[in-house]
Amino acid sequence: MRLITYLQALILRGTLIPLALLPCEGLFSQCPQIIWQDEFDGTTLDLSKWSYQTGDGCDISPDLCGWGNNELQWYQSQNAEVSDGTLKITAKRENSNGRNYTSARLRTIDQGDWTYGRFEARIKLPTGRGLWPAFWMLPTDEVYGGWPQSGEIDIMELIGSEPATVHGTIHFGQPWPNNRQSGESYKLHTGQFADDFHEFAVEWEPGEIRWYVDGYLYSSKTKSNVAPDRWPFDQDFHFLLNVAVGGNWPGAPDGTTRFPQIMEVDYVRVYDANKPSVHGERRVPNRAEGVAYQLSNLPEGATINWSVPTGATIVSGQGSDRITVDWGETGGDITAVISSDCSEQQLQLNIFVEPAFVPVQTLENFDDEALIDFDFSTGSLTENVDNPEANSVNASALAGRYERNGSEQFDVLVYQSDAIENGDEFVDREKKFFIDVYTDAPAGTLVLLQLENSSRATVANYPTGRHSRFEARTTKQNEWERLEFSLLDQPDGSTTGSSVDQLIFLFASNTRTGNTYYFDNFEIYGQQVATSVFRPGNTAKTLRLFPNPAGDLLNIERMEAGDWQQLRITDLSGRVIREWDPEEDAQSRLQVPVATLKSGAYLLEALSVEGIIYSARFVIP
C-alpha cells in the first residue's frame, strides 16, 4: 500500500492547508514534521520501505542494458548492508553475470511515493574515476509517458573524478534524443564529499523545486525552466539510492580508482514542511562590502544569532533574518543559530574570499599591439577613435566604437585569438575578464562575452563549440565604467578550455536596439600572489620581488643584510630553473632576466646552511 502523500499527511494531522497557500521560500514556516523516514538503526534493510533492483537492466528491456547509460556494474542485494546506524552501498571490482563490477540499487516504489514535500538524506560519498553515486527520484506511474516525459528529479549526483562537486538536475521533455534537462552544481571550497557526511535535499512544491546542500539553497527550477515542454512534476515520485560504475557521464574506472568504494547513508527523511535555509554568495571578492545573507522558512517567533569569522564584520541585521557583511582578506564560516518552539538549529555557510586580482594581460587597449584580431561583426566597429569623454576610469586617448545593428536580435562582434591558454581558468575564477565601457544604452544593459572553438561553433549549431559565457551589466549611461565579467554558463561541456580560439561580444543580446558602445582596456586579471612567504623564525630576513607579475626583468631587493648563500628559481614541481650566489654581487638590488621563462608560476628561494629560509612566489604572464 502506498504511503501517505504530502497533502494526505496534512489532512490526517488536521491541518488541511490549500497547496497554493503553502510557504514558498517565505520568511516564516510551520514546524516541519517527519512523515516518512529510515534511520538505518537495525542490522538489515527494512523491506517494508525499500526493494532491490538487480541485474544490468537487460532483463527489463534490451534498450535498458547498462541501465540506459552504458553502466558497467551488476546490481545485487548483498552489496547493500545496514550496520552501525548507516546504510552502506558498496561498489566492488568483481565478476558477476558477465560484468566486471558489482554494486546495489534500492528504491521505494509503491512503498514510499509522494507528490510535494521536503526530501533529504545525509550521505558520505565515494570517490574515484568511474564512480557515480546518486540520490534521486522517478515517477511511480509514468502518467505522461516513458522517460523523460514523466520527469526525473536528481537530488544529488556526484562524478567520482570530481569529488568536490555535486549536481542537482531535473530531466523532462520528449523521448530520447529530444530529451531535455536543467540543473546546477555545488562545489566545496575545500576537501571532498568523501571526507564527511553532508545533507542533500530538495523542497518540491507546485511549479517549483529547490536544491540544498547542508541547508544552503543553491538551485531553483520552475515551469519557466521547462517551457515549452510539459512540467511533469505534479505526480507521485519515489526514491532511488545507488552507486553506478562507469557510464556515459563518469566514464570507466582507470588505474587510479580504488575498490571497494562505499556510499554511506545516515538517514533518509520526508518532511511535510520546509526547513530553515540560508542563501547568499559563498565566494566573494577580496574586501567585499555589503554582502547580504538571508534566512528563509523560519518558524514563527524564531530568534536568530549570527556570527562571522575574524576579519569580517556584520554591518547590519544582527538578530534578524537578513544581515550584510563586510569582508577582509580571509574567509570562514558564517553561522546562524535559530531558536524557536520547534527546535534549535544551526546553519553554517563557508565563505571563500578571493585573493586580490591584478591585471596580467591586455588583450586590446587601442594604444598597444592587440592580442585579439577582429574577424567580423553584424554591427559596425571603428577602431582607434577619440575617447568620447575621459574620466578617472578611462583617461586614454583612443578607444573602440561599436554601433550595434538594431535589426539583429543577437548582434555579434567576433575576435580570433590564441591568447586564451585555458578557458577553464575563467570558469574556475582563477582569472577574470575586465573591460571599460561607455554607452548611451540605459543602465542595466547586458554585455555577454562568449568563449568558443571556431572549428566547432557555427551560426546554426548552438551550443556546440561554445565553451563558456560570461556576463556583465552596465550601471551608468554616457560615462566610462569598469565592468567585471562573471560566469553565466557553459553551454557545451565537451569543448575544452585549451581549444578556445574565438571571443564574441554580444552587446544587449536578445534585443533589437541600436545603441553605440565605446570600449577599451579589455584585460585579463589574475590572482595577486604574495611577494613574500616567510619561514617561521626568519621573518626579519627580507627580500622583495617586483614587478609581480614579472616583466622581462625580475627585481630582487635585499631589504637588509642576511646570511643567504644561494638564490635559485624553481618551478612549482621543485625543478631548479636557475641558481646563483648572491654574495658575488654587492648591490642591494639584483636584476634577473626572466624573459626566456615560459608563462606560469615560479618560486624564488633563498638558502643558507640551514636550508630554505625564504620563499616567494612570482608569475610570468
Check residues 576 and 233 and name the one with the higher pLDDT: 233
CATH fold label, 6-14+35-271: Jelly Rolls (2.60.120)
Average pLDDT, the chain: 88
For 467-489, how does the pLDDT look when each residue is reduced to its tens digit (9 = 90+)? 999 999 999 999 999 999 999 99
Percent of the chain with pLDDT over 70: 89
For 143-155, how does the pLDDT look when each residue is reduced to its tens digit (9 = 90+)? 999 999 999 999 9
Whether pLDDT at 5 is above 80 = no
Mean pLDDT of 259-271: 98
Backbone angles phi, psi at 595, to 5 degrees: -60, -25
Whether pLDDT at 1 is above 70 = no
CATH fold label, 533-620: Immunoglobulin-like (2.60.40)
Distance of alpha carbon 358 from alpha carbon 362, whole angstroms: 11
Domain ranges of the chain: 6-14+35-271, 284-353, 358-527, 533-620
3-state secondary structure of 427: helix
Q: pLDDT band at 562, cuts 50/70/90?
A: low
Q: What is the pLDDT of residue 536?
A: 36
Distance of alpha carbon 516 from alpha carbon 379, whole angstroms: 10
Check residues 200 and 571 and name the one with the higher pLDDT: 200
Active site residues: 152, 157
Q: Which class does domain 284-353 fall in?
A: mainly beta
Backbone angles phi, psi at 223, to 5 degrees: -60, -30
Q: What is the pLDDT of residue 17?
A: 29
Mean pLDDT of 55-65: 92
CA 206 to chain centre: 27
Q: What is the pLDDT of residue 112?
A: 97
Q: pLDDT band at 83, cuts 50/70/90?
A: very high
Whether pLDDT at 383 is above 60 = yes
For 21-44, how does the pLDDT look when each residue is reduced to its tens digit (9 = 90+)? 233 444 556 789 999 999 999 999
CB atoms within 10 A of CB 515: 18
CATH fold label, 358-527: Jelly Rolls (2.60.120)
Q: pLDDT band at 598, cuts 50/70/90?
A: confident
The grid cell for 353 is: 574570499
Q: Residues 208-214: contacts with CB within 8 Å, 24+ apart?
A: 208/24, 209/153, 209/170, 209/233, 210/25, 211/155, 211/168, 211/184, 211/186, 212/120, 212/277, 213/166, 213/186, 214/347, 214/348
Distance of alpha carbon 262 from alpha carbon 84, whole angstroms: 14
H-run or E-run covering 224: helix 223-226
Q: What is the pTM of this model?
A: 0.74
Question: Counting every residue, how long is the chain?
Answer: 621
For 311-353, how does the pLDDT look when each residue is reduced to its tens digit (9 = 90+)? 999 999 999 999 999 999 889 999 999 999 988 999 999 999 9
H-run or E-run covering 223: helix 223-226
Q: Which segments of 47-150 are extended strands (E)? A: 51-53, 73-75, 80-83, 86-96, 99-103, 105-107, 113-114, 117-124, 131-139
Q: What is the pLDDT of residue 343?
A: 87
616: nearest Cα among 565, 560, 558: 558
For 193-215, how does the pLDDT look when each residue is reduced to its tens digit (9 = 90+)? 999 999 999 999 999 999 999 99
Topology alike, domains 284-353 and 533-620: yes
Q: pLDDT band at 607, cuts 50/70/90?
A: confident
Maximum Cα interatomic distance, the chain, rounded to a whole number of Å:
89
